[in-house]
């Protein structure tokens, strides 16, 4: 993220939106995760991590971000949670390297608008699916190509230019990785923003999706 977007995501209005609109909507779509082991990708300064603990009821959260400064800020914000929080600098596409995350270890993964920053966003979804247990949930709050192509976004913010996803692209990619949102998603502002919850299903569901694509 550039300086303008970093300022925006750490601003008071953004945090109020996340706390009073986005988090409650995701909770309605997918429920809470009481006692769960949870991962947050792109944790920034830790505000979303705190919501996962306090509003969603997670027992423990592992969180990763590419920015060492953001992770250090998160350590300060989350110090009171002790061993319930584990933070690491690293990539959302290499969670084994960042957190030594094995297959199927998390009850839920949260994405508060980070996957649209990943150049190979499909690899990001594949990694989310890999670390989720069967029946685990992927909570996503994303910015789509519809928004990123608007002049204001292009002037102010820095995102990859190629292969950005629409809401339809993102939803269509999920089942290719065994993630199924069904009807648990909503778009906002003409498709600019996509929020939803997908469930990780087993290998049989992935195989059926592959057969559907090939006919």
The model's pLDDT over 123-151, given as tens digits with 9 standing for 90+, comes to 999 999 999 999 999 999 999 999 999 88
Write out the two tokens for 118: 């990943």
Residue 76: how many other CB atoms lie within 10 Å: 10
Give the count of alpha carbons within 13 A of 86, CB side only: 12
Among residues 87, 96, 51, 82, which one has the least CA distance to residue 66?
A: 87
Write out the two tokens for 66: 């590419």
DSSP string, 136-183: EEEEEEEE-HHHHTSHHHHHH-----SSPPPHHHHHHHGGGGTEE-TT
pTM given for the model: 0.90
- Give domain limits for the chain: 3-214
Helix/strand/coil for 40: strand
pLDDT digits (tens, 9 = 90+) for 8-35: 677 888 899 999 999 999 999 999 999 9
Query: 79-88, 139-148, 153-162, 193-202: lowest mean pLDDT where?
Result: 153-162
Report the C-alpha gap between 69 and 74 in whole angstroms.
9
Q: What is the mean pLDDT of residues 175-194?
A: 97
Q: What is the mean pLDDT of residues 33-51?
A: 97
By the 8 A CB rule, do 182 and 137 touch? no
Among residues 133, 135, 72, which one has the least CA distance to residue 105?
A: 133
Structural fold of domain 3-214: Rossmann fold (3.40.50)
By the 8 A CB rule, do 37 and 106 touch? yes
């Amino acid at each position: 993220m550039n300086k303008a977007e970093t300022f925006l995501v750490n601003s008071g209005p953004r945090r109020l939106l996340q706390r009073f609109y986005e988090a409650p909507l995701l909770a309605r779509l997918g429920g809470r995760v009481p006692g769960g082991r949870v991962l947050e990708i792109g944790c920034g300064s830790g505000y979303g991590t705190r919501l996962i603990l306090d509003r969603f009821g997670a027992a423990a959260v592992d969180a990763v971000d590419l920015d060492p400064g953001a992770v250090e800020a998160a350590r300060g914000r989350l110090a009171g949670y002790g061993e319930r929080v584990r933070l690491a600098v690293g990539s959302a596409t290499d969670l084994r390297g960042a957190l030594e995350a094995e297959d199927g270890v998390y009850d839920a993964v949260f994405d508060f608008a980070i996957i649209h920053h990943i150049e190979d966003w499909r690899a990001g979804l594949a990694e989310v699916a890999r670390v989720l247990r069967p029946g685990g949930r992927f909570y996503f709050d994303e910015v789509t190509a519809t928004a990123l192509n608007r002049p204001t976004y292009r002037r102010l913010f820095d995102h990859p230019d190629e292969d950005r996803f629409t809401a339809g692209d993102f939803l269509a990619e999920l089942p290719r990785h065994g993630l199924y949102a069904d009807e648990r998603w909503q778009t906002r502002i003409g498709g600019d923003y996509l929020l939803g919850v997908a469930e990780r299903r087993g290998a049989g569901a992935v195989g059926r999706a592959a057969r559907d694509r090939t006919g």
